[in-house]
Amino acid sequence: MITVLSGGVGAARLLRALCHVMAPSELSAIVNVGDDLVLHGLTICPDLDTITYTLAGLNNDELGWGLRGETWRVMSELDALGGESWFRLGDRDLATHLYRSQRLGEGANKTEVTQELCDKAGVQVRLLPVTNDAVSTQFDTALGRLTFQEYFVRHHHEVEVSAVHVVGARDARPTDQVLDALRKASRIVIAPSNPLISIDPILQVRGVRDILEERRDDVVAVSPIIDGRALKGPADRLLEELGHEVSCVGVVDFYKGLVGTWVIDEADAALADTVRERGVRVMVTTTVMALADDADRLARAVLS
Amino acid sequence: MITVLSGGVGAARLLRALCHVMAPSELSAIVNVGDDLVLHGLTICPDLDTITYTLAGLNNDELGWGLRGETWRVMSELDALGGESWFRLGDRDLATHLYRSQRLGEGANKTEVTQELCDKAGVQVRLLPVTNDAVSTQFDTALGRLTFQEYFVRHHHEVEVSAVHVVGARDARPTDQVLDALRKASRIVIAPSNPLISIDPILQVRGVRDILEERRDDVVAVSPIIDGRALKGPADRLLEELGHEVSCVGVVDFYKGLVGTWVIDEADAALADTVRERGVRVMVTTTVMALADDADRLARAVLS
């Protein structure tokens, strides 16, 4: 049993690669819900959906998010009405949000609805929202307090951030399935997702960090920073704005005390000794998952 | 100023005809909200939408409901997910519900959102939900208690009804705009909507019936029953199941004390004297609005 702490796109790619080299049913993903939002009355879970769509082979490679074969009729009508259309919801994607919102309204919890959506999509990996309680990642910025999607999508993560708050995290309870997946996994993997805004909102949920500290020797992390930059998204920028070193070493320090083994990219081979001095094991390999072979090699490294 | 008590399709047609023979801006419609529902997290107001779409010339004549040029991508995906798809929401139509739900979530009330949607659609008639409070028309049936749309759409109004409840009506407050429209109108019109399940849920809202009783002389009603049958929907069937006479006379008796002038169809000319014996004025004309000329003639009769 392998358990992966997961944000969106980077985690989805690692999970997909892991499915190529092990039985998907032996794989659990504990997924960030700090980006979740209610918009138009609909509950939207971007990280859960990105992973589900990717593992089902339905992800839209051209856009880099959402579903393939997507259409935009509803959004174009909503534009015409002058509605809030900055968060683009495709027609296919909307069906997911309608389904989830209806089921939550009927009293199902997010964990149950996620399982139902995975079953429908034929996804065998166990996707586990870290908590069924409300958690909201928010940003102090020059424009005031922003929610995750306001920062990320509406303002294209271009506004300067002075602090990140994971509102509700300390009162949120991890689900029993999450605690189980953390305790029983032979290995816990931290995906190359944004440490500050994808993984930290998982770690801040009561008790999660403690288990990682206890199980540190079994924790493997893949650096999301390669040669001082993030492949995608604002991880590099946020590290700098929040006073961290913008390198794989900065990420290693951010996860201090939680990780036994680091996987860093070949481009950062010169930093391997510096990382090793932090008292962790280091593996150097290709961490870019653009090519399937590279991704599978990374997956095997993570499992080795 | 003319104020029309309105359900869905029948009222929409009468309002459209009235717009041909008077200034739309002088026309107010007090609209039933007992059919409103929350589905998939979205607040849906079928009667308000039917009227808005019809007055904007966007109504789908082939279907008899919804928007023209509609597509069904979201519903077909929701079907694939095994979601609740018995209440068909087209892609264009969904934009209305997303817009409304977002605005309600932001703290706007139904009256305000209705005005915004009318402005966008270029509808000059003032559409007024009878109340901003929650009202839910429900049915005691052989299948147990059903909500309006479960009865009407899911079960195609084919199940026998033993009682109608307008849950919440007696505690609901009519809006100030509604009270104003009832008090200041030179004439109050009861549209040929279903008396039991479209108009009665308006009348049951606190204070509405009282104003109609006071203003009885200025109230004109158009019979929805022609030659013992409803043109559309289950009005005839419900009248029978709930112990009323299935004729325009049955409807006249149902509205006893509220109406000064009745408009009945030529097919019921033989009943004019029976109606007159109830102490009301009677006009006999074509009440079927399938042809624009007939509809305009009816509108002129209502205003005369």
- Extract long-range pairs of A198-201: CB within 8 Å, 24+ residues apart: A198/A6, A198/A7, A198/A8, A198/A10, A198/A11, A198/A32, A198/A34, A198/A35, A198/A47, A199/A5, A199/A7, A199/A32, A200/A164, A200/A166, A201/A32, A201/A33, A201/A34, A201/A130, A201/A135, A201/A137, A201/A166, A201/A169
With an 8 Å Cβ cutoff, the interface of chain A facing chain B consists of 38-43, 71, 73-75, 77-78, 80-84, 91-92, 94-99, 101-102, 104-105, 117, 120
Q: In the predicted model, is pLDDT for residue A280 greater than 90?
A: yes
Residue B76 pLDDT: 97
Residue A276 pLDDT: 97
Residue range(s) defining the domain that contains residue A289: 2-36+123-303
What is the C-alpha separation between B268 and B256, in angstroms, rounded? Answer: 19
Contact residues for B98 (Cβ-Cβ < 8 A; gap 6+): A40, A41, A42, A74, A78, A83, B42
Residue A3 pLDDT: 98
Q: What is the DSSP letter of A287?
A: -
Of A40, A95, A117, the CB nearest to B98: A40
CA distance B63 to chain A (A): 19
Q: In the predicted model, is pLDDT for residue B106 greater than 90?
A: yes
Of B81, B98, B120, the CB nearest to A74: B98
Residue A231 pLDDT: 87
Question: Using a CB-CB distance cutoff of 8 angstroms, which residues of chain B are in contact with residue A78?
Answer: 95, 98-99
Backbone angles phi, psi at A107, to 5 degrees: 110, -5
Question: Using a CB-CB distance cutoff of 8 angstroms, which residues of chain B are in contact with residue A82?
Answer: 99, 120
Averaged pLDDT, A30-48 = 97
> Tens digits of per-residue pLDDT, B219-259?
999 999 999 999 888 999 999 999 999 999 999 999 999 99
Q: CB A83 to CB B94 under 8 A?
A: no
Of B41, B92, B98, the CB nearest to A83: B98
Amino acid of residue A205: V
* CATH number of B96's domain: 3.40.50.10680
Name the 3-class secondary structure at B134. Answer: coil
ipTM of the complex: 0.91
Q: In the predicted model, is pLDDT for residue A290 greater than 90?
A: no
Residue A225 lies in a domain: yes
Q: In the predicted model, is pLDDT for residue A32 greater than 90?
A: yes
Question: Using a CB-CB distance cutoff of 8 angstroms, which residues of chain A are in contact with residue B80?
Answer: 95, 120
β-strand A261-265 against A281-285: which pairing, if any? parallel
> Tens digits of per-residue pLDDT, B72-81?
999 999 999 9
Residue B290 pLDDT: 87
Q: In the predicted model, is pLDDT for residue A224 greater than 90?
A: yes
Residue A64 pLDDT: 86
Q: How many domains does chain A have?
A: 1
Of A74, A104, A105, the CB nearest to B95: A74
Q: CB B74 to CB A95 under 8 A?
A: yes
> Tens digits of per-residue pLDDT, B117-139?
999 999 999 999 999 999 999 99
Question: Using a CB-CB distance cutoff of 8 angstroms, which residues of chain A are in contact with residue B98?
Answer: 40-42, 74, 78, 83
Of B74, B83, B120, the CB nearest to A74: B74
- Percent with pLDDT over 70 in chain B: 100
> Tens digits of per-residue pLDDT, A246-270?
999 999 999 999 999 999 999 999 9
Of the given ranges (A36-40, B61-65, B145-149), which has the lowest mean pLDDT? B61-65
> Tens digits of per-residue pLDDT, B141-184?
999 999 999 999 999 999 999 999 999 999 999 999 999 999 99
- Percent with pLDDT over 90 in chain B: 95
Residue B262 bridge partners (DSSP): B221, B282
Q: What is the mean pLDDT of chain B?
A: 96
Q: How confident is the model at residue B60 (pLDDT cuts 50, 70, 90)?
A: very high
> Tens digits of per-residue pLDDT, A69-104?
999 999 999 999 999 989 999 999 999 999 999 999
> Tens digits of per-residue pLDDT, A76-85?
999 999 999 8
Q: How confident is the model at residue B109 (pLDDT cuts 50, 70, 90)?
A: very high
Q: What is the mean pLDDT of chain A?
A: 96
Residue A176 lies in a domain: yes
